[in-house]
């Protein structure tokens, strides 16, 4: 069943490949996210149906991206359209998955990029939280490969952003001023991870250290050291709470 859905996904995205590299990057991102969703769902010991829904939600979470890029030539929602909402509309029109799974998967897709999950049903919430974790993990993976973040201004992390990190909170987009703030935002994803198994994956792959190592600016490295301490304490606490 999942393999059939992958085929549907690949057939659908085939029509967008002429738009070039940004589309290929999204296809690859999606396939990795679906795989990560499977890993997380398994680590959570979910039943067969929930594991399937997690994989499907991962596979279709960014289905709105292709039409978004075709129409607006950007992936920035603020300059175009909410890609979660658009994905939801596309899924309602196309027959990609089993009827039994539709409601949950569609809802998870709609909400995967929302600021909060108010209004989502409990069953969809769990699946949506898995997708959100997987999405963040893949962004950290790409960051570690130096494929996402632009750091051109040799900047430092601004005070407000550091303050949020000291409170172990994910940095708000509205506080971003410099390129370094953007790195800090990505590092702060850790504080918004839902499941311990996701945190363990980030820790195991050493994404945080790899990202920090990419930027040799000495003062920035001092700020990173503080962030690292915060992240380590945060993960330790989550591990302890789970025991």
Choose, by CB under 5 A, the member of 34, 52, 54, 62 that binds Fe ion.
Answer: 62
Question: Is residue 129 within the footprint of Fe ion (CB under 5 A)?
Answer: no
Q: How far is the CB of 206 from Fe ion (least distance, A)?
A: 22
Structure tokens at 93: 């029109």
Question: Is residue 133 within the footprint of Fe ion (CB under 5 A)?
Answer: no
Q: In angstroms, rounded to a whole number, what is the distance separating the alpha carbons of residues 237 and 208?
A: 17
**Alpha carbon separation from 232 to 76, 191, 216, 224, 236 (Å, rounded):** 31, 11, 21, 12, 6
Q: How far is the CB of 224 from Fe ion (least distance, A)?
A: 25
Total residues at the site for Fe ion (CB under 5 A)?
2
Pick the stretch among 36-44, 54-62, 141-149, 174-182 that binds Fe ion (CB under 5 A). Answer: 54-62
Q: In angstroms, rounded to a whole number, what is the distance separating the alpha carbons of residues 36 and 32?
A: 6
Q: How far is the CB of 222 from Fe ion (least distance, A)?
A: 32
Question: Is residue 135 within the footprint of Fe ion (CB under 5 A)?
Answer: yes
Convert 127-144 to b/e letters by CB count within 10 Å (16 or more is b): bbbbbbbbbbbbbbbbbb
Q: How far is the CB of 29 from Fe ion (least distance, A)?
A: 6
Residue spans of alpha helices (H) in 44-121: 48-60, 64-72, 83-93, 99-111
Nearer to Fe ion, 133 or 135 (CB): 135
Residues that bind Fe ion (CB under 5 A): 62, 135
């Amino acid at each position: 069943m999942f393999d059939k859905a992958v085929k549907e996904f690949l057939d659908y995205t085939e029509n967008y490949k002429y738009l070039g590299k940004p589309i290929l990057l999204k296809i690859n991102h999606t396939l990795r996210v679906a795989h990560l969703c499977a890993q997380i769902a398994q680590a959570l010991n979910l039943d067969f149906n929930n594991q399937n829904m997690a994989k499907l939600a991962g596979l279709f979470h960014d289905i709105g991206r292709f039409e978004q890029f075709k129409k607006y030539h950007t992936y920035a929602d603020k300059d175009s359209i909410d890609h979660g909402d658009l994905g939801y509309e596309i899924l309602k029109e196309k027959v990609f998955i089993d009827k039994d799974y539709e409601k949950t998967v569609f809802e998870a897709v709609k909400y995967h990029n929302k600021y909060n999950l108010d209004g989502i049903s409990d069953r969809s919430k769990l699946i949506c939280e898995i997708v959100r974790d997987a999405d963040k993990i893949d962004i950290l993976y790409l960051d570690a490969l130096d494929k996402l973040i632009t750091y051109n201004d040799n900047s430092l992390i601004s005070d407000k952003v550091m303050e949020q990190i000291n409170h172990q909170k994910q940095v708000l987009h509205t506080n971003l001023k410099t390129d370094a703030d953007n790195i800090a935002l990505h590092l702060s994803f850790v504080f918004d991870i839902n499941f311990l198994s996701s945190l363990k994956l980030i820790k195991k792959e050493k994404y945080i250290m790899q990202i920090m190592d990419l930027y040799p600016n000495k003062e920035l490295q001092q700020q990173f050291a503080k962030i690292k301490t915060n992240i380590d304490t945060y993960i330790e606490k989550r591990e302890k709470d789970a025991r």
